[in-house]
Structure 1
Amino acid sequence: MRIDVLGVGEAFDPAFENSSVVVTADGYRLMIDCGATVPGLLMRKFPDPDAIDAMYFTHMHPDHVFGLVPVMLNWRDDGRSKPLHIVATAAVRNHLEKIMELGFAGLGSAWPFEIIWHGVPETTEIGPFKTKFARSDHSVQNNAILLRFDNKGFAYSGDGNVTADTAALFTGADLVFQETYLPKHDLRHAAHCDLETILQLASDMPGARFWLYHIKRDARREIAEILRENEQVRLAVPGEVIEIR
C-alpha cells in the first residue's frame, strides 16, 4: 500500500495546502478529501485524468470538499473516460451534488463521465480495499476511514476528537493519519484533536505509527519540537510518499 501525501494544512494555513492523500494498492487509487487548495497539487502529482479511481470525503467542510469541482472540470477538459467512484455519507453526498450543480452551471447538463456513489458506513469494499468507518467528535458528522489491503492497514481520521469508536478503528492500522490541531486541549477548539490525546493513544498502540496533519498554523513549531525525538509520532510532510509493506 502506497500513500502519496498531497497537503497537510488546516483550513486557512498560508504555507500548507489543505490536507489530502492518495492511497494506492494493486494499481487502484483512492483520494481522501479534496479541499479548496488541493487541485493544483493533484494535477501536478497525477496529471492523467483517469489516474484517480475513487474519492472519499470525511465530512462537508470547505477545506475537505471545495476542490472537487475544479478537479472534475479539469478531468472533463482533459478527456477523462473512466467512471468516478465517490464514497460519502448521505449528507455529504447531498452537499457535494449541490456544489457540482453550481460548479457546472452553463457548461452542460451532465458530467461526461459516470459518477458512482457509495454510502457510508455501509460500504465495506472500494476497489481492492476493505473499508471500515467510525465517527469522530467534530462540529459536523465526520467519519474516519480504515483501509485494509494485503494484511496491512491505513487509517485517516478526517477532523475531530478521538472517540472510543475511532480509537477501536485505529487498532486495525499500521499507520494512522490523525488531525491534531493544538498541543493541548482548548475549549475554544473543542471540535479538534490535540497532541496530548494522540500521545496517550500512541502509548496504548505501540505497534502503530501516527502521522499528524491539519495542525494550527501557529502551533506547528511547538508540536514539531515536542515530537523531535519521537519515532512513533511525527508530522506529515507534504509531497512525501509512504510505503506500508
Structure 2
Amino acid sequence: MTSDHLRIDVLGVGEAFDPNYANSSVVVTADEYRLLIDCGATVSGLVMGKYPDPDAIDAIYFTHMHPDHVFGLVPVMLNWRDDGRSKPLHILCTPQLRSHLEKLMELGFTGLGSAWPFEVIWHALADTTSIGPFECRFARSDHSVQNHAILLRFAEKGFAYSGDGNVTAETAALFTRADLVFQETYLTKHDPQHSAHCDLETVMQLASDMPGARFWLYHIKRDARAEISRIVGHNDQVRIAVPGEVIEIR
C-alpha cells in the first residue's frame, strides 16, 4: 500500500554523553521504505526493539564520524545477521566516512566469519540524488569533522536533519525546502568554545526567516535542556524533540 506522506519515528534525541537520553537518531519512512539517520553508541537497542524484523530498515544515512552517531552500526548489523536479514543494506555517507565505517565493521566482525551474509551497498553523497522513494540533497555544516545535513523530499513534502554543527549558508538554503527541520541545538547562546555546535539564538533566527517551516531541537547539552525548554515554552514553530514520538508530514 502506497502513501503520500512522510513519517518520522524519533528514536533518540540526546547529545553524546547524556545519561537520560539516547543518542540522536530518527527513522524516516515513505512508501514503506525506511531510512535510519545516524546510529550512535546508545541507539542500537532502540532500533532492535522498535524494528524486530531484520529486513525492516532499508538504508542508513550517517551525518558524520563521531561515536554518538556511528558506534551502533556494528551491533545492529550483527543482530540482523543473527536474525536472518536477507535484503541488501544501503549506506549513505562520504567516502572518508565509508573508510572509517568499514574499519569498524571489520573489527566488529572479528572471529564471527569472513563476510556479512547480506549485501552492503555504499552510496557516496556526491553521487546520490535519491534513495528508495526519497529525493535527497546534502549540505555541509560547520563542525569539528565533516558533517552533512540531509534533506529528504517525497510527494512534495520535505524533512531535514542537521546532524551536528553550526548553521552555514548551505544548510540554511537546504532547510528552505523542508516542512520540518531537526536541528542540533547544543547551547542556549553562542559560545566560542563550542563554535562547532548550533545554539538556540541561531535557530530562532532561522525560524523567523522561514515562517513556513517547523524546527524540532535535539542533541541539547545536558545542562542547557531546562533553560532551552523554558525559553521555547509553547512555541508552535520551535520545540524540543521527544524520544518515541511519531511525526507525520502530510
Q: Specify if TM > 0.5.
A: yes
Question: In structure 1, the residue corresponding to 2:35 is in which secondary structure?
Answer: strand
- Structure-1 residue corresponding to 2:212: 207
Per-residue CA distance 1:153-185 (angstroms, 9 max, x = gap)? 000000000000000000010000000000000
Alignment equivalent of 1:93, drawn from 95, 98, 102: 98
Alignment equivalent of 1:72, drawn from 63, 74, 77: 77
Question: In structure 1, the residue corresponding to 2:247 is in which secondary structure?
Answer: strand
Q: Is contact 1:129–1:148 with CA below 8 Å preserved after alignment?
A: yes
Take 2:236 and 2:130, find their aligned partners in 1: how far apart are those partners?
Answer: 32
Per-residue CA distance 1:101-142 (angstroms, 9 max, x = gap)? 000001001000000000013200000000000000000000
- Structure-2 residue corresponding to 1:238: 243
- Structure-2 residue corresponding to 1:28: 33
- Structure-2 residue corresponding to 1:163: 168
Per-residue CA distance 1:38-97 (angstroms, 9 max, x = gap)? 011111111100000000000000000000000000000000000000000001100100
Alignment equivalent of 1:143, drawn from 126, 129, 148: 148
Question: In structure 2, the residue corresponding to 1:42 is in which secondary structure?
Answer: helix
Letter in 1 for 2:217: L
Question: In structure 1, the residue corresponding to 2:153 is in which secondary structure?
Answer: strand
For the pair 1:153 / 2:124, whether they are aligned, the reply is: no
Calculate the aligned-residue CA RMSD, in Å.
0.4
For the pair 1:42 / 2:47, whether they are aligned, the reply is: yes
For the pair 1:119 / 2:135, whether they are aligned, the reply is: no
The alignment of Structure 1 onto Structure 2 pairs a total of residues equal to: 245
- Structure-2 residue corresponding to 1:18: 23
For the pair 1:222 / 2:227, whether they are aligned, the reply is: yes
- Structure-2 residue corresponding to 1:104: 109
Can you give the 5+ residue segments of structure 2 that lack an aligned partner in the other structure? 1-5
Take 2:150 and 2:126, find their aligned partners in 1: how far apart are those partners?
Answer: 9
- Structure-2 residue corresponding to 1:52: 57
Per-residue CA distance 1:5-38 (angstroms, 9 max, x = gap)? 0000000000000000000000000000000000
Can you give the 5+ residue segments of structure 1 that lack an aligned partner in the other structure? none
Q: Is contact 1:121–1:132 with CA below 8 Å preserved after alignment?
A: no
> What TM-score does the superposition give when structure 1 sets the normalisation length?
0.99
- Structure-2 residue corresponding to 1:195: 200
Take 1:212 and 1:47, find their aligned partners in 2: how far apart are those partners?
Answer: 28
Deviation >2 Å, runs of 4+: none
Alignment equivalent of 1:134, drawn from 112, 130, 139: 139
Take 1:221 and 1:121, find their aligned partners in 2: how far apart are those partners?
Answer: 39
> Shift of the alpha carbon at 1:188?
1.2
Question: In structure 1, the residue corresponding to 2:127 is in which secondary structure?
Answer: coil
Q: Is contact 1:182–1:194 with CA below 8 Å preserved after alignment?
A: yes
> What TM-score does the superposition give when structure 2 sets the normalisation length?
0.97
Take 1:163 and 1:35, find their aligned partners in 2: how far apart are those partners?
Answer: 24
